[in-house]
Amino acid sequence: MRHQCRGPASAVRVQPAGAIDDPLDRRAAGAGAERGAPVLPDRDDYPITVRGRAFYIPGVVIVPHPNGVDSPAGRGSANAPRVIVVDSQPLFVEALAGLLARPPLSAVTGTASSSDAALALVAGTPADLVLCDLRVQPGPFRSFLAALRDLAPTPPVILLADGDDEDALVDEIDTDVAGLFTKDTEPAQFLDGVRAVLAGHRAIGSNVLRRLITRLNGSEAAAPRPGIAQLSPTEIDILAMVGAASSVEQIAQARGISQKTVRNHLANIYRKLELRSRTEAMLCAARMGLTS
């Protein structure tokens, strides 16, 4: 989905590539020239804990915490932070959990296929970090984020999305998520971002940042933003039922119409809102406030 229900994007001030602030920065730049090599032998948390302007390490932009948090593992143990992975794709969840559990992070991981299950996990045992898919179900991501805020302590959240959902990730940059990455990010770069977030900072993947800068510069082609005003009352009702995870058969029975008629209405909804799948329709219904 590309144009639905966009919120305002917040500007991120980024240190120009190659900018050097001090001798430590020069050492970090030299060490970062070879991927896979230690960042610094004497400070393995550098440059994550450096205070000051936003800076760039290969593939990730780090926005330092204003209070300059120094612990590389947040509230949890430096050796074993507790991380919850929330995604409906079992293979992806297992692969990501395995990556986090291995050195250098050596995290204790928990997994959940839905937002409800994730909330139960975090409520039972506080987490140092939550990694969540943008398309989390059953509720929209922002509802899940609000529910996490009610927990104490509240864990930071890194939001993940498919590579073709960069625009949707940028739409969430005005929330208090601690990180935004596409799922095609290189593992080493992603782990840099995870460690930055555990240190109390904010991390933004380079793909997401490029999309944000394109939008802020106005170089992204302006496009119409279809919304609820383009739908008929019947189409609004059907979209709301789709948002509530009703099947075509259930919608037909509830409205007393044939399944073919329901599919015709859905085709019109998809065309008017430029949707490509039922998942996008469910997300759009949530963002339009048609679901509870």
- Over residues 158-189, the pLDDT tens digits come to 999 988 788 888 888 888 899 999 988 888 88
Closest to 181 measured CA to CA, from 209, 156, 200:
209
Domain housing 62:
23-216
Query: How many angstroms separate the Cα of 161 from the Cα of each of 6, 205, 266, 282?
Result: 16, 11, 25, 16
Among 196, 216, 236, which residue terminates a domain?
216
CATH number of the domain enclosing 86: 3.40.50.2300
Name which residue leads in pLDDT, 285 or 55.
285
Does 244 share its domain with 210? no
Quote the CA–CA distance of 118 and 96 in Å, as a whole number. 16
Q: Check: CB of residue 117 under 8 Å from CB of residue 136.
A: no
Whether 6 is covered by a domain: the verdict is no
**pLDDT by residue (tens digit) across 206-239?**
888 888 888 777 655 444 445 677 888 889 889 9
Name which residue leads in pLDDT, 46 or 110.
110
Using CA of residue 69, residue 70, residue 73, residue 76, what is the dihedral sign?
negative
Does 89 share its domain with 167? yes
Does 241 share its domain with 186? no
| pLDDT band, residue 23 (cuts 50/70/90) | very low
CATH number of the domain enclosing 274: 1.10.10.10
Does 189 share its domain with 123? yes
Quote the CA–CA distance of 277 and 160 in Å, as a whole number. 19
The pLDDT of 260-264, averaged and rounded, is 93
Whether 7 is covered by a domain: the verdict is no
Does 233 share its domain with 173? no
pTM equals 0.57
Whether 60 is covered by a domain: the verdict is yes
Output the pLDDT for position 43: 34
Query: How many angstroms separate the Cα of 175 from the Cα of each of 6, 30, 113, 126, 202?
Result: 12, 34, 22, 21, 12
Angle at 213 between CA 181 and CA 129, to 5 degrees: 25
Whether 17 is covered by a domain: the verdict is no
Q: Check: CB of residue 248 under 8 Å from CB of residue 262.
A: yes
Whether 11 is covered by a domain: the verdict is no
Does 55 share its domain with 120? yes
